[in-house]
Amino acid sequence: MIPAAFAYHRPTSVSAAIALLADLGEDARPLAGGHSLIPMMKLRLAVPQALIDLAGIAELRGIRRDADAVVIGATTTMADLIASDELASIIPIIRETALVIADPQVRARGTIGGNVANGDPGNDMPALMQCLGASYLIAGSAGSREVAARAFYQGTYLTSLRPGEVVTGVRIPLPPAGHGWAYEKLKRKVGDYATAAAGVVMAMQNGRVAQIAIGLTNVGDTPLFAEAAGTILTGSSLDATTVDRAVAAAEAITAPASDGRGPAEYRTKMAGVMLRRALARAASPAAAR
Amino acid sequence: MAKTHVTMTVNGQSAEELVEPRTLLVHFLRETLGLTGTHIGCETSHCGACTVDFNGESVKSCTMFAVQAEGAQVLTIEGMANPDGTLHALQEGFREMHGLQCGFCTPGMIVRAYRLLQEIPNPTDDEIRMGISGNLCRCTGYQNIVAAIQFAAARLNTPAQQEQAA
């Protein structure tokens, strides 16, 4: 399992990386943690002529708090996310989710930028970013832009990233104070992609759902933002009838593949089960922590 | 394809070589430097046999290029024994507690456990199991590996050993 030959570049600034991407064209790929790209290269399913390693760009790694958002640099690793007590106190669902991704060694290398930009529906961060209402910071030779996570994914490995562009970070608005959260992931073993997973971020007021967002992982060609399910739950007390309707609405937007993780019908139902568990945990007073 | 110059520190010794960019770190360690203690198992980032310590973190060296380790500090199983040649507490633990049968996963297990004990000096059994969840063993059923790591944790946490190590 030896990848095809390629040229290696290690720029030290975003502008230099963009210039390289523009010069080298579509045969060049940015390299972050490499834990999606390198396995593909070893199988020769990816044969880039050049890799532009982002690891030398110091400004791309780190977690920064703005007035109303947290900005996480693209090459910030899953281990970095888990290690940040500040991040865990502001948006605890990020640590919870990162901890169910892969294993310690992979989390030491895998980055949030790679996880969200890759377009693999098995990745967990995309649905979480949709759930949190995050947007992706994108740089290219034509300038910088910001794209909502909910509008970024078009199909398996297909995103709205244009040739020559690179994701430089994610911007996550601060969730409401006292919010509840849960990311429930069903997997066959540690390190596996989800059979189905659901993320919930919600705020309650006087026993009713004031605000809620739901994301689903690996039960479609893209991560899924379950908007209709959220609308059904808003204003409710999370009574059984309303939860049943919301779960049905969430299941209705899934279209999972039948594969080693189970037949499509099973995975759809498991998406519903994960959503039920996530709702219960996000809403419980104990989960308010 | 043109070769690239790479410099890193492996087990405290400087290594400077010309490598093809596509050379995986595990191949660099085994074939260029002759350090064959790091094993190649699945080659698909699952089994952890190729685990090395990289700038203070455990990584799977089959899923990194050697050029990505430019300037890095790398520790492999060959660097685990004490300078006087005696075994590291983890190596001792794996021997005493029967933490291996065929031994193929052992270098990766020990190097991973080394970092785990830096992060959590007094781990619970559950913390050990989660900590080594990226390392597969097909022989032992893990029970004795957990016991071996507990043996090492206890040994490393006794004051006498700390004095000796200092």
DSSP string, A189-222: STTPPPSEEEEEEEEEETTEEEEEEEEEESSSSS
* Inter-chain residue contact B112 with A102, CB threshold 8 Å: no
- Residues in B closer than 8 angstroms to A108, CB to CB, are 54, 57-59
The pLDDT assigned to A287 comes to 47
- Residues in A closer than 8 angstroms to B130, CB to CB, are 190
Rounded-to-integer distance, Cα A275 and Cα A269, Å: 10
Q: Is the pLDDT of residue A90 over 70?
A: yes
Residue of A nearest to B128 (CA): A104
This prediction's pTM: 0.95
Strands A28-31 and A50-53: parallel
- Which tokens hold the place of A148? 């909502």
**Helical ranges in A60-205 per DSSP H:** 78-83, 85-90, 92-98, 104-109, 112-117, 125-132
- Reported as a single tens digit per residue, the pLDDT across B68-121 is 999 999 999 999 999 999 999 999 999 999 999 999 999 999 999 999 999 999
* Inter-chain residue contact B63 with A191, CB threshold 8 Å: no
**Could you give the maximum distance between any two Cα atoms of chain A, in Å?**
61
Q: Is the pLDDT of residue A285 over 90?
A: no
* Inter-chain residue contact A79 with B57, CB threshold 8 Å: yes
Kindly report the nearest CA distance between residue B135 and chain A, in angstroms.
9
In chain A, pLDDT over 90 holds for what percent of residues? 96
The pLDDT assigned to B165 comes to 52
Tell me the domains of chain A and their CATH numbers. 7-56 (3.30.43.10), 58-173 (3.30.465.10), 180-283 (3.30.390.50)
* Inter-chain residue contact B134 with A55, CB threshold 8 Å: no
* Inter-chain residue contact B59 with A109, CB threshold 8 Å: yes
CA nearest neighbour of A113 among A51, A192, A36: A36
- Residue corresponding to tokens 């660099």: B28
The pLDDT assigned to A49 comes to 97
Chains A and B form CB pairs within 8 A to the count of 80
For A8, the closest of B21, B24, B44 (CB atoms) is B21
Average pLDDT (B142-159) is 95
Q: Residue type at B106?
A: T
B20 and chain A in contact, CB less than 8 A:
yes
Q: Is the pLDDT of residue A286 over 50?
A: no
* Inter-chain residue contact A8 with B70, CB threshold 8 Å: no
Q: Is the pLDDT of residue A215 over 60?
A: yes
Q: Measured at the alpha carbon of residue A269, what is the angle toward residues A282 and A98, in degrees to the nearest 5? A: 45
Rounded-to-integer distance, Cα B103 and Cα B88, Å: 17
What are the C-alpha distances in Å from A25 to residues A44, A48, A49, A56, B42? 19, 10, 10, 21, 33
Residue of B nearest to A52 (CA): B68
Average pLDDT (A114-133) is 98
| Interface TM-score (ipTM) > 0.85 | yes
- Reported as a single tens digit per residue, the pLDDT across A11-39 is 999 999 999 999 999 899 999 999 999 99
- Which tokens hold the place of A137? 């910071």
Instruction: CATH 3.10.20.30 in chain B: give the residue spans.
Output: 4-77
Q: Domain B4-77, what architecture? A: Roll (3.10)
Q: Is the pLDDT of residue A275 over 80?
A: yes
Q: Residue type at A258?
A: S
- Which tokens hold the place of A200? 């919930």
CA nearest neighbour of A183 among A267, A99, A112: A99
Kindly report the nearest CA distance between residue A177 and chain B, in angstroms.
31
Assigned CATH topology for domain B89-157: DNA polymerase; domain 1 (1.10.150)
What are the C-alpha distances in Å from A233 to residues A177, A205, A216? 19, 13, 16
Average pLDDT (A189-195) is 94
Q: If pLDDT is split at 50, 70 and 90, which confidence band does B162 have?
A: low
What DSSP element (H or E) covers A52? Answer: strand A50-53
